[in-house]
A and B are shown apart, each in its own frame.
Chain A
Amino acid sequence: MFIEEADYMGVTVTCTEEQWRAKVEAGHPNMRGKEDLVRGAIIDPDVVMQDRSRPSRKHHLREEPDGRYVMVVVQYDYGPEPIRGRLVTAFMRRRRRQGDVLLYSRGGTP
């Protein structure tokens, strides 16, 4: 598995190398070689936001030194099996949007 990390809740989030190339690098070439930033946003995000359309989807954001955010979208599969997360996409984002529902903030303050 190319990415296999426990998120802020301890849920394992995965992404194969093929998925990484097809879902992330192909559309976002500036993410090439930034898999460690994505791992960091999964393991230790600054904030986690609820996706506004899908309850099973969350956005993990981590600010970089240049003020941009690494954003990792994770799909969580709930069911009889243990919860698992699958990486939907990841890219660089300029800023956070007002009004997002905050699920987690490192340090407790948004």
Chain B
Amino acid sequence: VTTQLPRIDLQSFERLRFSYDHEFDVAHLHVNAPCSSVAEEVADGWYLFDDDSGDSPVATSLEIHNFLAEVANEPYFVGVVKPSFDEVERFTGKQLADGVVAEGSTGELPLTARLVTFLLGVAITKLEALRENERIPAK
């Protein structure tokens, strides 16, 4: 098991891909283009992917299940999620609720780039907490 937490490589973050599968309520947010990655479940329905590069893994994407049902409308997230949704809908000309795929540069999708960075940070924090909890036996 990789012991280092994945890091976000902001310097190489030039493009992103945001997809939302309305049939199963699954969102997938990629830093740059999708690439070969392996996942860890960091919280219920949150799958953080990294490039599996050993001691210094780089976070590559985040897949969130039950995205609209459990995440997007949470007060904690809505402030960063809603502007991104509006941006993705304008960019694609489609409604998010119908399912979308948006691929573009961080300049073309700046609010969504912030969302990707923010959610990856949240996911890495969740992974750190999960590993800590799994090291400490439950009382």
Contacts and interface: CB of A to CB of B under 8 A. Distances in A.
A22 B70 CA distance: 23
Contact of B66 (A30, A53, A89, A93): A53
Given A88-B24, A94-B2, A95-B1, A30 B45 contact: no
A106 interface: no
Interface centre among A23, A27, A54, A98, by most B CB within 10 Å?
A27
Range for the number of chain B residues in contact with chain A = 20 to 34
A52 B44 contact: yes
B34 interface: yes
A93 B38 contact: yes
Interface string A15-59: 000000011001111100000000000000000000111100000
Interface in B10-39: 17, 19, 21, 24, 26, 28, 30, 34-39
A26 B21 CA distance: 12
A27 B19 CA distance: 8
Contacts of A71: 39
A27 B36 contact: no
Contact of B65 (A30, A53, A92): A53
Contacts of A26: 19, 34, 101
B35 A75 contact: no
B17 to A, nearest CB: 8
B19 A53 contact: no
Contacts of B61: 27
A94 B1 contact: yes
B134 interface: yes
Contact of A93 (B2, B17, B35, B39): B39
Contacts of B74: none
B47 A91 contact: yes
B39 A92 contact: yes
Interface of B: 1-2, 17, 19, 21, 24, 26, 28, 30, 34-41, 44-45, 47, 49, 52, 61, 63, 65-66, 69-70, 101, 130, 134
5 contacts: A26-B19, A30-B37, A88-B65, A92-B39, A93-B38
